[in-house]
A and B are shown apart, each in its own frame.
Chain A
């Protein structure tokens, strides 16, 4: 299931895992250094140097280090770039083939973003709405509908929400022949554009 707020889950998971590794390493260092660990494992001696003096690395060590650095670095880069994605992932849909005048009129492909744009345009035409954005996510027959609507400060929000559920969503469902599924709406308020607040 695609998340409605990428990359929230990814961030939490990775931050938790990395934090846990660092915490474990740090606590191990402290327990080791203060000699607490030695009480449990007598073989561990904190008073010997951390590395033996004449240490020579095997020949493959630089190659392995390089490979690990490249792989981890690319994953970090991907994680960094994932922060830029704020919208849920959308996809292309193939609509079922239609019969026109008794003949197969072929299949129709549509990207869900285009269907979503039509929905957003519908909502944008309502009173008190300044901007609307929509995303249809997941299976074509039962997509999740995410709406992001900016309304005027003084707009009747209850009426707006009822209008969306009674008009915009049914229109979309009948146009695309989709079943009712999850729909959610994030409302934002902005100062009304046309009407001056003075006077």
Chain B
């Protein structure tokens, strides 16, 4: 099972903007109907718009901005995004259970494995499903050797977790300055 981002942030922003616009318009129209001074001066708004032609620069700029926002929304809606849950290989058992592991958990587990290597003080992992990039911060040790040991520790942990598609693991080691002790 794979799960993708819900796009809640983008949806929330657009919904909020839409709601705010509708509230302002509704309040202004009610004020107009009640004979009060509306919060949006429709007269000024109308005469401002009437003063422009379609070829004026402000109109073109606004059109361009609207098109840009539209394009961004379409791209956000269509892009699948990095999965939030990665599928796991089917386990044996009486019935089929479609399993996945959250990206955060997988990253944490792999970072944990990397930290278990002697000399590594902390590690962080970013995975996209296709690759897992491990950054290990080491206090001592030889860089190439550390890289190999981190790679094998991470590979071992990956085997235990069992993602359906094993990511390509890249390891970068930071922090060893090769100081002579």
- Residue numbers of A with Cβ under 8 A of B are 4-5, 7-8, 10-16, 18-30, 32-35, 46-53, 55, 62-63, 65-66, 69-70, 72-73, 76-77, 79-80, 83, 147, 153, 156-158, 161-162, 164-166, 169-170, 180, 182-190
Contact = CB atoms under 8 A, between A and B. Distances in A.
Contacts of A63: 33
B88 interface: yes
A35 B55 contact: yes
* Chain B, interface SS category: helix
Contacts, number: 244
Nearest to A56: B46
Most buried by B among A22, A28, A32, A164: A22
B73 interface: yes
Nearest to B68: A26
A22 B50 contact: no
A11 B77 CA distance: 8
Nearest to B59: A33
Contacts of A48: 53-54
A4 to B, nearest CB: 8
B162 A158 contact: yes
A12 B63 contact: no
A8 to B, nearest CB: 4
Nearest to A148: B102
A19 B93 contact: no
Contact of A62 (B32, B64, B74, B101): B32
B98 A182 contact: yes
A146 B71 CA distance: 35
Contacts of B85: 186
A153 B91 CA distance: 19
Contact of B70 (A20, A47, A53, A166): A20
Contacts of A19: 69-77
A60 B75 CA distance: 38
A72 B20 CA distance: 11
Interface stretch (B2-10, B121-129, B164-172, B173-181): B2-10
Interface string B1-40: 1011111101110111011001101100110110000000
Given A11-B6, A16-B73, A161-B97, A50 B12 contact: no
B6 A184 contact: no
A179 B100 CA distance: 23
17 contacts: A7-B11, A15-B14, A18-B18, A20-B70, A26-B68, A51-B46, A69-B23, A69-B26, A76-B16, A77-B15, A153-B109, A156-B160, A161-B88, A170-B94, A180-B95, A184-B99, A187-B105
